[in-house]
Structure 1
Amino acid sequence: MNGALFVTATSALAPTGALMRALLPLLGRLLSVPALRGLAVDRLGRVRVKAAPGPRKHSRGRIAVSLSRSARRAPGWCGA
Structure 2
Amino acid sequence: MKTISLLNLKGGVAKTTTGGNIAKGLANRGFKTLLIDTDMQANATSIFLEDERSKEDYKGFAELIVDEKLDDVDQYVYN
> Shorter-chain TM-score: what band?
under 0.3
Structure with bigger helix share is 2
Higher relative contact order (CA 8 A, sep 6+): 2
- TM-score normalized by structure 2? 0.22
> Higher strand fraction: Structure 1 or Structure 2?
1
State the structure with more CA Rg.
1
